[in-house]
Structure 1
Amino acid sequence: MDMKDFRKDFLEDIKSTAAAVGEGSSSAFVQISTEYLISAEVLPDFIFSFFIGTGKNNRKYRVDGYVLDEFDYTMNLIVADYSGSEGERVVTRSQAIQIFDRLLYFIDEAYGDRLYKEIEISTPCADLVELLRSNKSRIRKYRLLLITDGYMSDRIDVLPSKLIGDIEAELQIWDIERLFKVCFSDTGRQNIEIDFKAYTGKGIPCLEASGTATDEYRSFLCIIPGHILADIYDYFGSQLLEGNVRSFLSTKVAVNKKIRETILKVPNMFFAFNNGVSATAMDLVIENLEDGKYITHAKDFQIINGGQTTASLSNARHKDKANLEDVFVQMKITEIDADADKSGELIRNISRSSNSQNKVNDADFFSTHPFHIRMEQISRRIFAPAIGGTQYDTRWFYERARGQYLQAQMRMTKSEKNKFVAQHPKKQLLTKTDLAKVRNSWRGLPHIVSRGAQTNFMNFAEWIDTEWSSSDVRFNEKYFQESVALTILFKHTENIVTHQLWYEQGYRANIVTYSIALLHELVKSQFPDKEIDMQIIWNRQSVPEVITNELVNITKAVFETITDSKRETINVTQWCKREACWAKVRNNKILLSNKIEKVLVDKTQIQSAEKEARKDQKLISGVEAQTKVLEYGAENWKRVKEFVLVKKLITPEVFTALKVAIQIPIKLPNSYQSQKLLELLDKAYSEGYKNEKLV
């Protein structure tokens, strides 16, 4: 897929989304563009807040949405420039500045008295204005993003930052080409490149850790001045932190009190007291000078341990006006292979090991969790029923890793791509954050869903990790089909909300998650022995009319509840993040029609179906285990046997299985024995077994 193909597909996606959702093309453009930016970790989340107006001195202002990164208190504000033109439109420097000025004028109006007094309460823009005003003293940086379906002019190189009060505002243009590049980058995210000479004359002094280098990596030990680490963090913000670490810290205390105390009271002891920072990068540039080696440039720089240290340095300087000149930090930086597949796994393993003292469990490294892998395998294996007279089945594409759907098409011919898209329609793409959103809504956690994609995903990941450890067979084909059915229900509810007369272009995401949760709650309370039959939705690939009718009433009740003037928090968006809001919504006394029984099924039937699905999953898991054991081969199992006997890691039952494995292919372990052998192999690796890894 080249740039032109991407743009053509992008514009078609906007048209189809606008038609399906029933909103304008510009709104669909903003939705799709920001989804790419969230996926690329440019934005932590996004909240729609379209508003245009005319302020003092007849200045026109506009905003399309925002998100406040509560980890580093960067206020991201988005403004859109969408034409939908098939031709290649160029955005000039003067046009870009004019659009940015409208966003700057909006901020100016938000901090003034006129807009604050005149704007209608209980609207998304009113929430944004209230958020800006209440956090004005805490905001450390503004980032203004212009998203456009045009091409940025070649004459635009650097856009100088602006000042809002005394706070810096960085300007970024995200044109169609920049979106394409980040989508098809090796990492699937925006690379962070650091020129260390821009912060310190020579770069960062370093020593290569001799004898540690392998084909996969080499490591360097450095001492980095605290003020430089704070400068880098101030510029890049939480993007500097590796994704899993950022997700983990965002749910914990971001700034450590002990670290702060050391900075303020004994800064010269910081190096001795602090554990330092671990980072990874690709393509390090090392210069040999008379007084030693210096790292001058790093590509895709990511802090994988020491996020609290980094944030604390920046915060202490910002909030406490601390002088960091006497603070020095030890840093281990590991240069890794530029190959995306190799580097991704290596970064996760380094990050997991580096953060072991912080209780960052496997849920925090969820992209490689076996749950994810199984959902991906099921999605590639089973077909969804054909609908609408089509003569072929389709699949729901589960995106286990960021950008898989687009990456799969990258090297396809036109005919191959057409075939792929026909079998895996874009509307049937299911991301891991989508899954977390629909499942947590159904679990009765709309207040968690409303806290944003990152927080919600971490909550879901922790739940999955616990449940998987208890019994992984419940996550089977039936679970996947139900997840798809919930996704269909979720999207259908979005469509319902959009077409209601009371809908005022705001809080749709909150209304939908709360409505799904309330629907489930009402069914449980009024039909305690029954559940909605998700298999009906899966088989039809659509939502029955009887459910639609109930959702029309439910969505209206939810909207009225979350925007009730008596709510405990003025800001509706913030109110929806509180469990108290869910308690209010749950108290709605809506009587469901008896007609809904047509789509309900007895819980005994569900339990029976789940039992069969678990049996099937055991069988599938057993076959997969046998395949892996056979592929590993008799010679490798002989080496395993020698190791575990010396280490005394084996039980009589597993020893019997091992005796069979070393006779492959004359004898074959059964499925149960194979699963036990794989468990033994994992145990052996954890005890230091270094033979060939089983993939």
Structure 2
Amino acid sequence: MTLSDFSVDFLENALLTVEDEKISQEDAITQDILEYTIDSGDVVAGELCHYKVRGIKINAWNYDEENEVIDLFVTIFKSEAKLQKVSDKDIEDAFNKARNFFWAAREGKLLTKVDESETIVFDLVQIIEQTRTTVKNVRIFVFTNGQASIDVIPEAGEEKNIYFDFQLWDIERLYQQYLIRSDKQPIEIDFISDYNYKLKCLFMDNVSENVDCYLAILPASILAKIYGKYRQGILEKNVRNFLQFKTKVNRGIRKTIIGSSDMFLSYNNGISTTAEKVYIQHDDNIPYITKIENWQIVNGGQTTASIFATSMEKGIDLSKVFVQLKISKIKNVEEMDTIVGYISQYANSQTGIKDSDFEVNSEFFVTIQQFSRSEWVPTLTGGRATSKWYFERTRGQYLEDKAKLTSSESKKFDKEYLKNRKFTTPDIGKYEMSWQQKPYDVSKGAENNFKIFIEEIKNDKPVVDKRYYHQLIAKAILFKEIDSIVAKEKLGGYKANMVAYLIAWISYKTNKRLSLDYIWENQRISEGLAVTLKSMIPIVWDHINSPAKAGTNIGEWCKKPECWVALKDKAADIEELTAELTEINTQRLNEHISEQYTSEFDVKVIEEASSVDAEVWFSISKWAKENNKFTPFDRKLLFNLGVLANRKAALTLKQAKNAIRLIKSSKEQGFV
């Protein structure tokens, strides 16, 4: 695939996102580029927003509270389905607009201009103003699906005690990442041709039947250039999620490079790497490494990223900075993934990376991946199944798998694994923790929630069988459909919090008995559930916007268990869901919402309504739909009455009265 082909495909994929998620084309491009930057390790996360006034623009943002860094993203969208150039002036303007946004927010000039209804932008403005004493680092990213020159990227530097870093992600850089991830641009380190350097080494004979080991001391300047070219492509993919540049963690590395560069080799533990091939040249019986193929850093990602980031600062000299290097060359290529995985895990066991970081390789997640590659989505027509859900166990796996295919295979892949049916390991954490009624943990962010979720599954040890997988997908559908419903309400922000709290509330109100089997079999939620959710949205919205302590940041309020406790027992009408529960569940729900029947007349009404066969209700429901009779609510109730009749479930008085009304009215309007 050429750069031009990739450019067209990238735009077409973004347009699919527009269709699926009902967002603007510019937001879709922003979201898709964000996915690449997160995969590359440059970015932790991003929140879409859109704010534009004269001289100011912002398309997305992220606040890394742990490291006190604010990321701002500005997008230049190109709409033509061809490779397009972006002018230097447009790039410069984009960087300036984001910087202007930051300073205007920092100086309190935007609080009165940004409407509180634009909650995502308003939150960012508040965060920038409220962190004036803590945040000292701001990174500005310009995104574009056009081709731009890197020569216009501003130099990193300090301004009014704020250190600004600038990055450009254009279509060419995206294409490079695509090639790396698809193995179409092999990672080959040629020290002589590319760096005019031979790497002196110590070779250990007969260390193992599985690996050969080499020890060397690598100039940091060369390591920085290698990382600058390949970025996360050289960091072992199974822990890519966790090898991200963290300002606090790496502050000491930067300080050593700047103030004690000659002591770096003594202070730092170095990096551990793997390779498929290592080429050796001997001069005067001394071995030198000249080339390495399929090189991966399995321990030392923080060191590597820190050296690179520091090297980008003005006036930095790496001439005295050296890094201890260990290379394990895998002898049997067929065992590459397995051995690299073990080396990665054990090499990192002495660092700050926790065992939970490697949970993506556990039996729990591996089994879910196996089901996602074999379980076809049910078809309502009964015809041949054509699609599956795609579980991306390691970040970038979806793009990686697709990129290895030919053009015709790629189209087949798109049909088999629809883009809107992809889910990730952090997504599973969001689905399950929301359903387990812990929306306050979900509100802490995907990464923090995932760590909590890992501890949950370690304690509970769930068995992943076919039923578990089907119910997991049902929760994914529930999550995605609620996300869509909330988005259509255009509340202006806190969508992630709203979705988590709505799922938790539905789970609580139904005692976790909502029919997940129905959702899996139909690959959607029912109209009754959609109606119920819409009625719950204003209650949840008012609740999260009314924190117990006035003035509390809404995002922080949503992270507190007290927020959930105060919501769960509020009144909500869930009678529409009666038909979606099992018989035992229906009985429990009826006990919860039933009225007291005090008269003989009430009993007769219930008996009369309950005597109607399911086929009659389904026939009336079909007739009403075809002839546009009754309200949508009544048409859905007719269908639900059929389901209840099939299950021989007891009706409430309210349902029975409505049933008698609908029977009578349908006859009056011509149903035979």
Name the TM-score, length of structure 1 as normaliser.
0.68
- Contact between 2:474 and 2:517, CA under 8 Å: does it hold in 1? yes
- Tell me what 2:60 maps to: 65
Which residues in structure 2 correspond to 1:620-659 (within 5 Å)?
none
Query: Aligned in 2, Cα 1:355/1:21: closer, same or farther, shift over 3 Å?
Result: closer
Query: Are residues 1:512 and 2:499 paired?
Result: yes
In structure 2, C-alpha distance between the alignment counterparts of 1:77 and 1:203, rounded to whole Å: 41
Which residues in structure 2 correspond to 1:606-617 (within 5 Å)?
none
Which residues in structure 2 correspond to 1:141-540 (within 5 Å)?
141-150=137-146, 152-153=147-148, 155-157=149-151, 159-163=153-157, 165=159, 166-186=161-181, 207=202, 212=207, 218-222=213-217, 276-280=269-273, 304-305=298-299, 331-334=324-327, 345-357=338-350, 362-387=355-380, 392-468=385-461, 474-500=463-489, 503-524=490-511, 531-540=513-522
Deviation at 1:541, TM superposition (A): 0.9
- Spell out, residue by residue over 1:414-452, the C-alpha distance to the aligned partner (whole angstroms, 9 max, x if none): 443333332322222232232222122212232332333
- Tell me what 1:320 maps to: none
User: What amino acid is aligned across from residue 581 of structure 2 in structure 1?
Assistant: L
Deviation at 1:516, TM superposition (A): 1.2
In structure 2, C-alpha distance between the alignment counterparts of 1:302 and 1:132, rounded to whole Å: 38
User: What amino acid is aligned across from residue 506 of structure 2 in structure 1?
Assistant: L
User: What amino acid is aligned across from residue 516 of structure 2 in structure 1?
Assistant: M
Query: Aligned in 2, Cα 1:580/1:569: closer, same or farther, shift over 3 Å?
Result: farther
User: What amino acid is aligned across from residue 97 of structure 1 in structure 2?
Assistant: E
Deviation at 1:480, TM superposition (A): 0.9
Query: Aligned in 2, Cα 1:490/1:254: closer, same or farther, shift over 3 Å?
Result: same
Deviation at 1:243, TM superposition (A): 7.4
In structure 1, C-alpha distance between the alignment counterparts of 2:368 and 2:21, rounded to whole Å: 27
User: What amino acid is aligned across from residue 506 of structure 1 in structure 2?
Assistant: G
Deviation at 1:590, TM superposition (A): 2.7
Deviation at 1:109, TM superposition (A): 1.0
Query: Aligned in 2, Cα 1:444/1:497: closer, same or farther, shift over 3 Å?
Result: same
In structure 2, C-alpha distance between the alignment counterparts of 1:271 and 1:418, rounded to whole Å: 50
User: What amino acid is aligned across from residue 510 of structure 2 in structure 1?
Assistant: V
Query: Aligned in 2, Cα 1:499/1:359: closer, same or farther, shift over 3 Å?
Result: closer
In structure 2, C-alpha distance between the alignment counterparts of 1:173 and 1:204, rounded to whole Å: 32
In structure 1, C-alpha distance between the alignment counterparts of 2:50 and 2:61, rounded to whole Å: 9
- Tell me what 2:99 maps to: 104
- Tell me what 1:135 maps to: 131
- Spell out, residue by residue over 1:562-594, the C-alpha distance to the aligned partner (whole angstroms, 9 max, x if none): 22265566433344334343334x345032332
SS in 1 for 2:510: helix
Query: Aligned in 2, Cα 1:7/1:594: closer, same or farther, shift over 3 Å?
Result: same
Query: Aligned in 2, Cα 1:62/1:256: closer, same or farther, shift over 3 Å?
Result: closer
In structure 1, C-alpha distance between the alignment counterparts of 2:129 and 2:36, rounded to whole Å: 29
- Tell me what 2:625 maps to: none
- Tell me what 1:599 maps to: 580
- For these two proteins, the number of residue pairs brought into alignment is 577
In structure 2, C-alpha distance between the alignment counterparts of 1:582 and 1:364, rounded to whole Å: 28
User: What amino acid is aligned across from residue 481 of structure 2 in structure 1?
Assistant: H
In structure 2, C-alpha distance between the alignment counterparts of 1:462 and 1:295, rounded to whole Å: 43
- Contact between 1:281 and 1:298, CA under 8 Å: does it hold in 2? no
In structure 2, C-alpha distance between the alignment counterparts of 1:463 and 1:435, rounded to whole Å: 12
Residue 71 of structure 2: which of 60, 73, 76 is its match?
76
In structure 1, C-alpha distance between the alignment counterparts of 2:247 and 2:142, rounded to whole Å: 32
Deviation at 1:237, TM superposition (A): 11
SS in 1 for 2:453: helix
Deviation at 1:249, TM superposition (A): 9.3
Deviation at 1:209, TM superposition (A): 5.1
- Contact between 1:182 and 1:189, CA under 8 Å: does it hold in 2? no
Deviation at 1:79, TM superposition (A): 0.8
Deviation at 1:99, TM superposition (A): 1.5
- Contact between 1:29 and 1:82, CA under 8 Å: does it hold in 2? yes
Query: Aligned in 2, Cα 1:109/1:302: closer, same or farther, shift over 3 Å?
Result: farther
- Spell out, residue by residue over 1:299-338, the C-alpha distance to the aligned partner (whole angstroms, 9 max, x if none): 99877557899999999xxxxxxxx99x999844336569
- Contact between 1:81 and 1:147, CA under 8 Å: does it hold in 2? yes
In structure 2, C-alpha distance between the alignment counterparts of 1:349 and 1:343, rounded to whole Å: 10
* Aligned-CA RMSD value: 5.2
- Spell out, residue by residue over 1:7-26, the C-alpha distance to the aligned partner (whole angstroms, 9 max, x if none): 44433333333233333222
In structure 2, C-alpha distance between the alignment counterparts of 1:167 and 1:33, rounded to whole Å: 26
Deviation at 1:543, TM superposition (A): 0.7
- Spell out, residue by residue over 1:488-520, the C-alpha distance to the aligned partner (whole angstroms, 9 max, x if none): 1111111111222xx343221221122112221
Q: Which has the larger radius of gyration?
A: 2
- Spell out, residue by residue over 1:98-139, the C-alpha distance to the aligned partner (whole angstroms, 9 max, x if none): 121111111121222321444344722222123223434544
Query: Aligned in 2, Cα 1:329/1:575: closer, same or farther, shift over 3 Å?
Result: farther
User: What amino acid is aligned across from residue 219 of structure 1 in structure 2?
Assistant: Y
Deviation at 1:341, TM superposition (A): 8.3
In structure 2, C-alpha distance between the alignment counterparts of 1:563 and 1:511, rounded to whole Å: 11
Query: Aligned in 2, Cα 1:145/1:296: closer, same or farther, shift over 3 Å?
Result: farther
User: What amino acid is aligned across from residue 120 of structure 2 in structure 1?
Assistant: P
Deviation at 1:399, TM superposition (A): 2.4
- Tell me what 1:693 maps to: none
Name the TM-score, length of structure 2 as normaliser.
0.70
